[in-house]
Each structure stands twice: as C-alpha cells, then as structure tokens.
Amino acid sequence: MLTFRCRRSGGRAEGSGCSWQDGFGYPAAQGGAEPFFGHNVTETGFGENTWRHNVPLLGWVLGAGVLLWLGTTGLVLLSFRNPRKPHARTPAVKGLGFEEVRFPTKGGKMLYGWFVPADGEPEKRSVLILVHGWGRNVERMLPYMPFLHQAGYHLLTFDARGHGSSDRDGYSTVLKFAEDIRAAVNYLETRPEVDAGRLGVLGLSIGGAASILATAWDERLRAAVTVGAFAHPADVMRDSFSRFFLPYIPVGWTVLKFVEWRVGRSLDSIAPENAIRQRSFPVLLIHGEADRVVPVEHARRLHQSANRDNVELWIQPGRGHSNCHLEPGFDGRVVGFFDTHMAELDTVAETSAGGQGARA
C-alpha cells in the first residue's frame, strides 16, 4: 500500500519533498501513482482530472442522501397522521340514554360528542369527561360508561379534532387534545344540569396525557384518571423511531423539529411530566406493566414528578396498553377515586356555607 508523505521545513510542507512511499517506508518508483476513484495521482498531488470527474459523482451521492433523508422523513410524518373512523355503536348498546352534541373548540373547529345524563330527577351533578386515544373515537369509551353512570355521574365524551365525526385540523397532538378537553369544560358550563364546580376527566393514552395537561392548566377540572398516559411526547416518538430502525439523526431529529414548528411550542412545554408539577391536583395513574406502546416507565416518571400527596400509581402486572379496564377491581377503584375527591369538594362547600352540600 502506498502512502503520501512530505518533509516539513519551518512548519510548512515542502512540495518538492513530497513523495509516495510503500508500506516499509521506502520511496515508490518515480511517477508512481496511487489510484483515487479510478484515476491516477502524481507524486506532487492529485491528477488534474481527478476532481473534475469526481465532484459530480460526490454531488450525486450527496443529492441522493438528501433525497433519502427527506423522503424517509416525509413517510414518517405521514405515518403520524391518525386514522379517521366514525363510531359504529352508541351508548344505546349499553342501555344508556344519550344526547348527540356539538360544540366549538380552538380555531373555530367543531367537536362531536355524546352527553349521557345521570338517572333520576334533573339536578346539578358532577360530570366526568371521557377522552379516547390516538386514532380512536367516542366508541372507545363505551366500556367505561356503565359503571361511571351507575355511580351517579353525568358523562361527556367527544371525538378529538381529526377523529371520528369531529372537524379535521391537521396533525393531532397532545396539545390539541388538551385544548379540546378545555373546550368540553366550556360547553359543560352552559348546561343547567351540570355542577360546573365539580368536573373530572378520564383519559386513555394520548387522551390521558392531555388530561394531565388540561387539569394542570385549568382549575375548573378537579381530578384526573389516566390509563397508559405518556410522560413526554418526544420520548414516545423516539421509541417509535427505534421500533422501525430509523436513525434519530437526521430523520428523528427532523421529525421532532417539524412537530415543534407545527405545534408552535417546544415539546418540553407540553410534556405531562412537566405540567403535572405546575398545580397540585388529585390524579390516579393507571398503567399496564406489559405496555409496549407507552412503556410503564412513563407512569413511574409521572409519579415522580407529581405532588405525592395527591397522586396514586396503579401498575397492573401483565396488562398492556388497551386492556387495563379488564383488571379485576378496576371499576371500583376508579369510582372510589372520583367519589373521594368530589366528596372533598362537598365538604369544603358545607364548611363555607354552614349547610349541607349535595353529593353527586
């Protein structure tokens, strides 16, 4: 193998002292040449045609690399567009009466939902807002309705923007889900049968993460239950890149920056593990230990970040991302959590008014 060596004088390489040497340090034959991309190089430098022929080749290589990078990034972004599928069943299949409703959210968009009134005489009652996950719709919340309705709560569930029968609005994000939850709160304040001072929220997956954001930012929401919520959106996206063997640099990094640009905020500013520190509120974090979509470590991080006086962590062995509600005792624990924290509000009201507060 030939190497190109130069003698130095005063820290500068002397052109006339440069030559090719073989692997033993002996000078190569005069005029010897070392191939470079198929072209000869003389002892004083590269052949005059080398760069002229190879710069275009390098340009094609770089161009192909950029196209591959942009194409892969584009495909990843397309994969983040949630499927949009209207519901096929209604609360009627559970024997529940309901009202189809529509109400506005940010950007002038309209949300579709169901209001399920509690049984009994019309009166102001507590309301639980039920929030589905990414790519789902109101139908996903049907398994939760019977036991929460039986506990005496009004219920409201809705299709988040870009889902089900609600308006489209570009890419779905945890911020948009949180904004839609707050829009639901605004809507509930207009209904006479609702006690707007006692509102809770139960959310699944991204809906659970958004429930933390909305409750941290809006004091009208008193308590939250989450199932499979993530701690930070960037970490969920990085996990997705790893599952599909996509390099973080440059594809993953580009996707994250694009998302931040579209959201108009840094992902740190909308991370549930950061928001949960901003206000102390009761929260029950439920997570399947075998969850492969949002690893259980996210629940532990949320628990570490929250005010320990108000947070409960329930990790279910063997459960995954979408079956935690099948765990024995699930109904009772969720109802007990909401009953406890709604009852605390009644106690405060009784003390302040010196009278009796009605429990929903």
What confidence score (pLDDT) does residue 309 get?
Answer: 85
The DSSP symbol for 25 reads S
Angle between the N-to-C axes of helices 253-263 and 233-243, in degrees from 0 to 180, rounded to the nearest 10: 150
**Do the beta carbons of residue 287 and residue 314 sit within 8 Å?**
yes
Measure the CA–CA gap between 259 and 234, rounded to whole angstroms: 10
The residue type found at 178 is: A
CA 145 to each of CA 13, 16, 121, 202, 325: distance values in angstroms, whole numbers, following the listed order:
81, 88, 19, 11, 12
Give pLDDT, residue 124. 86
* Dihedral, 285, 288, 289, 293 alpha carbons, nearest 10: -110
Strands 221-227 and 283-288: parallel
Alpha-carbon separation of residue 228 from 44, 158, 163, 254 (angstroms): 66, 19, 19, 27
Task: Compute the distance between CA of residue 140 and CA of residue 227 in angstroms, rounded to an integer.
Answer: 13
pLDDT computed for residue 61 by the predictor: 59
Phi, psi of 215 (to 5 degrees): -70, -35
Instruction: List every span in the chain annotated with CATH 3.40.50.1820.
Output: 91-232+271-353
**Integer Cα distance of 124 and 119 in angstroms:** 12
Block mean pLDDT (10 aa), the chain, length 360: 53 53 53 46 50 61 55 52 88 98 97 95 88 97 98 97 95 94 98 95 98 97 98 87 68 76 88 95 97 96 91 98 98 97 57 38
Q: Domain 91-232+271-353 sits in which CATH superfamily?
A: Alpha/Beta hydrolase fold, catalytic domain (3.40.50.1820)
What stretch of H or E contains 52? Answer: helix 50-79
In this prediction the pTM is 0.75
Res 40: pLDDT = 47
Map residue 18 onto helix, strand or coil: strand
pLDDT number for residue 255: 76
Tokens of 248: 């973080």
CB contact at 8 A, 162 and 191: no
Contact 337, 223 (CB under 8 A): yes
Report how far apart, in Å, the C-alpha atoms of 138 and of each of 52, 125, 163, 204, 292 are. 63, 22, 9, 12, 23
Ranges of beta strands (E only) in 62-109 are 99-104
pLDDT value of position 62: 60
Whole-angstrom Cα distance, residue 322 to residue 160?
A: 18
